[in-house]
Amino acid sequence: MEQQLEEVLAEIAARQDTVGALLANRQGLCLGTKGNINPNVSGIGMAISEQVAKLEPNTTVPATICLYSGNKRCVIQKDGEITGVIFKQQTAASATAASN
């Protein structure tokens, strides 16, 4: 089971601009991390996804939450039992590539 989670985390961490990623269970406990991310973020990440789930409770497809701060982004998505939190930071190189 852990191997599958680690594979998913490795896949997320390999994406452009990703600083770190973690997965949390429905209690907000950290199931695994990859990259530069504090495992303690799992609790607040879970709390945010639970809060947003109250916004449109009848929606079947879960929402993706994105917090922006300068060139940094925190992406949170809940999918069933598991919540994913991804920290992203746009580098100068990726910003140039995006504008081309």
Partner 1 sequence: MDREKLIVSNQIGYLILKEDGAVLESGGDLKNDEHSANVIMGLLNLTESIDESFMPNSSCERITIDYEQHYYSICMSNRRIYIVKISKSQNGVTTTTSSSSSNSVYNDASDTGAVLA
68 binds partner 1 (CB under 8 A): yes
Measured CA to CA, the distance from residue 33 to residue 13 in angstroms comes to: 10
CB of 22 to partner 1, least distance (A): 11
CB of 53 to partner 1, least distance (A): 9
The helix/strand/coil state of 52 is helix
Q: How far apart are the first and last CA of the chain?
A: 41
Check the CA dihedral 29-31-19-49 and report its sign: negative
Q: Which residues contact 69 (CB under 8 A, 6 or more apart)?
A: none
Q: Which stretch binds partner 1 (CB under 8 A): 3-11, 27-35, 42-50, 91-99?
A: 42-50
CB of 83 to partner 1, least distance (A): 13
59 binds partner 1 (CB under 8 A): yes
Binding residue for partner 1, selected from 7, 16, 29, 64, defined by CB under 8 A? 64
CB of 45 to partner 1, least distance (A): 8
